[in-house]
Amino acid sequence: MEGKDVISGSAFADIISGSRRTVLAVHTHPDGDAIGCGTGLLHFIREVLGKRAVLAVPDAIPDNLLFLLEGLGDSVLVHDSRPEETEKAIAEADLIIGMDISGFDRTGPLKSFLHSSKARKILIDHHLNPDTDAFDVAFSDTEVSSSCELLYRILSDTVQIHGDASLLPLPAATALMTGMTTDTNNFANSVFPGTLRMASDLLSSGVDREMIIDNVYHAYRENRIRLLGFLLYDRLGITPSGAAYMVLTRKEMEDFGISEAETEGFVNIPLSIGKVKISIFLREEDGFFRVSVRSKKGISANALAMKYFNGGGHELAAGGKLFLSEEIRSGKNAEDYVVRVTGEYLEGR
C-alpha cells in the first residue's frame, strides 16, 4: 500500500473515533463498489466504533443496490434529492473520507464543497493516478479488485477486527462482498489472491452470496434486456482493428423507458467476441455522451479514456465523457469519432 502518510488500520479507526463529524464521499453514478465501501464503512463506524457518520452520495443510487441501505436511514444522503442537507453535512465535517474516487473531481456536485472543506481528509481508493495531494492520508492500491477489498484489508488491521472477519457486522461484510463482486464482474476480472481470501473469509463469516447475486444481477426490468437485445442486434459496430462500439441516444432511452443506471454492464458484453480487443459504450446525457471503456489484457482502456474521452479509471476498465458541439451532437457523429480514434489508437500502438 502506498500513500503520502501510511497508517495502520487501528490508527485509521482511532482517527474516526476521535472525530466529531465524519462524512464519507463516493463518486457520481455510484456503482456497487462505491455503495459497498461507503455503506460497509458506515456500518463499521456505527456498530463497531459506536460513532455516527454520514455517507454523501452525489446522485441517485441504482435500484439494484438499494438493499445495502437497509437500516442506515438518514445517515445516507443523496445530493440529488437532499442537496442542502448533504452540503451542510460536508460543511460541518471535521473528517472526510473519499472512497472509490481518484480525487474529488469524481464527485460532481459535491466537488467544490469537498475541496474547500478544512476537515482532515483520508482517501481509500484503487484507481490509477490518485490525487493524493488533496488528502492528509491516502490508502491507495491498484493491485486489489476493488475499494471494498482495500477497505476490508484496512478494517481487518484494526484492533477491533484483528483479522477475524466474523467480528465485522454482517451488513458490513455483505456490503464489502457486494462491491468486490460487482467490480470483478462476479469474479471475471481483477481477481487477486487477496480477493479470493477475502471472499472466503466473508463467506465463512455468514455472508449470503446468493442473496447478493439475486439483488444485483437477477432483478432487472424487462425493458433493460429488450434494449440490450436491440443494441446488440441493430447497433453494435465492430471496426477492422477490433474496437466494438454502441451508442445509445436519449431518444432511444425514452423509447425503451430506461433510466441511466439500467445500462450498467452493457459495455462488457461485446468483449466476449474473440476479435474484439476493446469495447466502448456511449450514452447521451445533457450536453455530452458518457463513455464506458473495457479492454482485454495488453490494451489500456485507461490510456484511451484519458487521451480521447477526458477520463481515466483502471487499466482494463475506464470511463469519461465525449463533448460534441450542439450543431453536430448526434449518435452518428459520436460513432464516427469512436471509429476514428480507436483506429488511431489500436493501429498506432
Q: How far is CA 9 from the centre of its chain?
A: 22
Strand order across the beta sheet in which 288-295 lies: 237-238, 243-248, 278-285, 288-295, 317-322, 312-313
Segment interacting with ligand 5GP (CB under 6 A) among 10-18, 208-216, 318-326, 337-345: 318-326
Binding site partner of 224, from ligand 5GP, Mn ion, none, Cβ cut-off 5-8 A by kind:
none
Which residue has the closest beta carbon to Mn ion? Answer: 33
Is position 130 an interface residue for ligand 5GP (rule: CB under 6 A)? no
Binding site partner of 26, from Mn ion, ligand 5GP, none, Cβ cut-off 5-8 A by kind:
none
Cβ burial, residue 332 (10 Å; 0-12/13-18/19+): exposed
> Where in 166-225 is the site for ligand 5GP (CB under 6 A)?
none
Among 208, 162, 199, residue whose Cα is nearest residue 48 = 162
Tell me whether residue 65 or residue 276 sits nearer to Mn ion (CB atom).
65
The answer to whether residues 248 and 263 touch, using CB atoms and an 8 Å cutoff, is yes
Tell me whether residue 39 or residue 190 sits nearer to ligand 5GP (CB atom).
190
Among positions 292, 295, 300, 342, the unique one binding ligand 5GP when judged by CB under 6 A: 292
Q: Cβ of residue 143: shortest distance to Mn ion, in angstroms?
A: 13
Is position 313 an interface residue for ligand 5GP (rule: CB under 6 A)? yes
Question: Which uninterrupted H or E stretch holds 24?
Answer: strand 22-25
Among positions 183, 252, 264, 284, the unique one binding Mn ion when judged by CB under 5 A: 183
Binding site partner of 292, from ligand 5GP, Mn ion, none, Cβ cut-off 5-8 A by kind:
ligand 5GP
170 grid coordinates = 454482517
Cβ burial, residue 106 (10 Å; 0-12/13-18/19+): buried
Among positions 28, 33, 171, 239, the unique one binding Mn ion when judged by CB under 5 A: 33
Is position 262 an interface residue for Mn ion (rule: CB under 5 A)? no
66 grid coordinates = 438499494
Query: CB 273: neighbour CB atoms within 10 A?
Result: 13
* DSSP-derived secondary structure letter, 2: B
Residues lying near ligand 5GP in the complex (CB under 6 A) are found at 27, 31, 102, 127, 292, 311-314, 317-321
Residues lying near Mn ion in the complex (CB under 5 A) are found at 33, 100, 146-147, 183
